[in-house]
Amino acid sequence: MACVLLLRLLLLTALAAPSQGNRLGSTPRLRFSRFLDPSNVIFLRWDFDLEAEVITFELQVRTAGWVGLGVTHRYTNVGGDLVVGAVLPNGNVYFSDQHLVDEDTLEEDGSQDAELLGLTEDAVYTTMRFSRPFRSCDPHDLDITGDTVRVLAAYGLDDTLKMDQGRAFVKSIFLLQVVHPDDLDAPEDTIIHDLEITDFLIPEDDTTYACTFLPLPIVSKKHHIYKFEPKLMDHNETIVHHILVYACGNASVLPKGISDCYGADPAFSLCSQVIVGWAVGGTSYQFPDDVGVSIGTPLDPQWIRLEIHYSNFHNRPGLYDTSGIRMYYTARLRAHDMGVLQLGVFTFPIHFIPPRAESFLSYGLCKTEKFEEMNGAPVPDIQVYGYLLHTHLTGRALQAVQYRNGTQLRTICKDASYDFNLQETRDLPGRVEIKPGDELLVECHYQTLDRDSLTFGGPSTINEMCLIFLFYYPRNNISSCMGYPDIIYVAHELGEEVSDSMEGMMALNNVEWTPESIKKAEKACKEAQQMVIIKTID
């Protein structure tokens, strides 16, 4: 990115008019928008120019006081940047690029790198529009990147520029989105179908995986699902952790009712190929116009397994839930039938993260050389167009890297600033081709400074996962390709004598976890031979 320096005047003439459209004059439409606070007082619009590496924000706040918008850090607002503005009583406009020297004190930057495009006040709102470069020369300006960005918004009740923690909010946003839903086709013959668990009594346990089997729509000819969105009950939004829809093979004998997905009855864990998925922080997702989930042909699934993960950490009793996925489908066929490939570290029982780790990397390898054998038919090159990243609470970053013939080709997808509370399906800026024989390495970065014991892979939110779901076409029968390191080798490198994997996992509890042993474990996990597990639709 270029280092851009913009010098701006601090005091400008106000642009006053009663309506939003007039008071900012004729301004370009900003495609993206989001409320930034729980009470919907702060509304943000934004758009960007990838070629010029400039982003434009419009902040609208229900106040007659000053407003501010910027970017901040994961754990603290200290050092975060904040562009502030106000319409003064004399009609002049105050506008300044500042940063937080502590939680309550703002200081003006030596370099003013934000360009004011409009700043007005009416009877209800103060509205500020400005642009800034993705990356400036100012060390007090945090970069706008293709990762999750923690957006800081603040305001006052008058024009006195003073931070009040009760009126400062941070929201994680993926700012540089590739596609906006308004840019996509919405077929006129759209049909809606809901897949949901109805009136389910959520157990008081901290972790519940509830599964049921449901039929897909019965149609007389091929249709395509082109969009999905979560259906959540308002009072249960903080308890529903994720929802997955798995395709079932048409020869499967499926149980009835609702039960624990991974409990005493193994039938409730049948069906392993993800069709669509949602996780905390996500919203609706619409596939590109040339891609859809095929239903209605003999090769398509007729039934699905609906999996809902509930995290009831306060053990609240008497909670009933009706949640699921709403699907939109059409008879207007798209060019390609899509599939989902699950990559990452095989979750249980081998995955582990040491305690008190500032940083620990886990690796999961997928070797696609066996895809054709497992698929039962030739596997053509696949085109990846989207992805969903998933870890639990200690995850800090993820990436998937593609190798061919021992040479690294590219990073397929990544987020170096991952936030557990923002898990959404994202589009790639361009299609990525994967050929049979390629290797796909998933790397997950964790931090466990607040934990005194080992964190193991597992279903609970306090356990960990390292998963990336790739959305691709054309569809094949491979549902997942996961790897894990030879734990016997890892244990030996840590000075533990073991003869099998379970002994190796148990021996990890004997290790004195220091910064040195943590790095040794990470190095061993990276160098160990990877065991690869490939699953097909069942």
190-199 pLDDT, tens digit each: 999 999 999 9
Q: Give the confidence band of 148 by pLDDT, cuts at 50, 70, 90.
A: very high
Question: Does residue 349 have a cis peptide bond before it, meaning omega lies within 30 degrees of 0?
Answer: yes
Q: Do 364 and 488 share a structural domain? A: yes
How does DSSP assign 81-118, residue by residue?
EEEEEEE-TTSEEEEEEEEEEETTEEEE-SS---EEEE
Domain boundary among 115, 148, 177: 177
CB atoms within 10 A of CB 373: 9
Task: Say which CATH number the domain at 480 has.
Answer: 2.60.120.230
Task: Say which CATH number the domain at 224 has.
Answer: 2.60.120.310
Q: Do 447 and 384 share a structural domain? A: yes
Bridge partners, 126 (sequence order): 61, 121
Assigned domain for 513 exists: yes
* pLDDT at residue 369 is higher than 60: yes
Q: What integer is the mean pLDDT of 180-204?
A: 93
Q: How far is Cα 419 from Cα 37, in angstroms, rounded to an integer?
A: 17
What is each CA distance from 128 to 58, 65, 134, 328, in whole angstroms?
A: 6, 12, 18, 37
Assigned domain for 93 exists: yes
Catalytic: 390?
A: yes
Q: Do 369 and 295 share a structural domain? A: no
Q: What burial class does residue 222 get, using C-beta atoms within 10 Å of its C-beta: 0-12 exposed, 13-18 middle, 19+ buried? A: middle
Q: Do 264 and 369 share a structural domain? A: no
List b or e across 436-473, with b for residues whose CB sees 16 or more CB atoms inside 10 angstroms: eebbbbbbbbbbbeebeeebbbbbbbebbbbbbbbbbb
Q: What is the pLDDT of residue 1?
A: 46
Q: Do 470 and 458 share a structural domain? A: yes
Assigned domain for 1 exists: no
Q: Do 342 and 318 share a structural domain? A: no
Bridge partners, 401 (sequence order): 411, 441
Catalytic residue among 209, 246, 285, 385: 209
The distance of Cα 100 from the centroid of its chain, to the nearest Å, equals 28
Q: Which range, of 237-241, 469-473, 480-484, 534-538, averages the lowest pLDDT? A: 534-538
Domain region containing 381:
338-538
Q: How far is Cα 338 from Cα 384, in angstroms, rounded to an integer?
A: 9
Q: What integer is the mean pLDDT of 455-465?
A: 94
Q: Give the confidence band of 115 by pLDDT, cuts at 50, 70, 90.
A: very high
Q: Outline where 102-245 has alpha helix (H).
A: none
Assigned domain for 115 exists: yes
What is each CA distance from 407 to 338, 401, 432, 438, 530, in whole angstroms?
A: 28, 11, 16, 10, 17
DSSP-derived letter for residue 10 is S
- 380: amino acid identity, one letter: P
CB atoms within 10 A of CB 187: 16
What is each CA distance from 8 to 112, 141, 244, in whole angstroms?
A: 6, 15, 49
Please state the domain count of the chain: 3
- The pLDDT > 70 percentage for the chain reads 95
Domain boundary among 159, 177, 195: 177
Q: Do 394 and 366 share a structural domain? A: yes
Comparing 348 with 477, the larger pLDDT belongs to 477
**What does the block give as tokens for 196?**
């949901």
Catalytic residue among 223, 224, 336, 390: 390
Q: Do 392 and 512 share a structural domain? A: yes
Assigned domain for 272 exists: yes
Question: pTM of the prediction?
Answer: 0.91
Q: Do 347 and 258 share a structural domain? A: no
Q: What integer is the mean pLDDT of 366-383?
A: 94
Q: Do 18 and 115 share a structural domain? A: yes
Q: Do 153 and 196 share a structural domain? A: no
Q: What integer is the mean pLDDT of 230-239?
A: 92
Comparing 10 with 17, the larger pLDDT belongs to 10
The whole-chain average pLDDT of the chain stands at: 92
Catalytic: 209?
A: yes
Q: What stretch of H or E contains 365?
A: strand 360-367
Q: What integer is the mean pLDDT of 408-433?
A: 97
Q: What is the pLDDT of residue 16?
A: 32
Looking up tokens 């790897």, which residue turns up? 483
Assigned domain for 3 exists: no
DSSP-derived letter for residue 522 is H
Q: What is the pLDDT of residue 18?
A: 28
Task: Say which CATH number the domain at 66 has.
Answer: 2.60.40.1210
Assigned domain for 4 exists: no
Q: What stretch of H or E contains 473?
A: strand 466-473
Assigned domain for 159 exists: yes
Q: How far is Cα 200 from Cα 314, in angstroms, rounded to an integer?
A: 18
Q: Do 531 and 391 share a structural domain? A: yes
Q: What is the pLDDT of residue 24?
A: 54
* pLDDT at residue 5 is higher than 70: no
Domain boundary among 310, 335, 360: 335
> Are 116 and 15 contacting, i.e. CB atoms less than 8 angstroms apart?
no
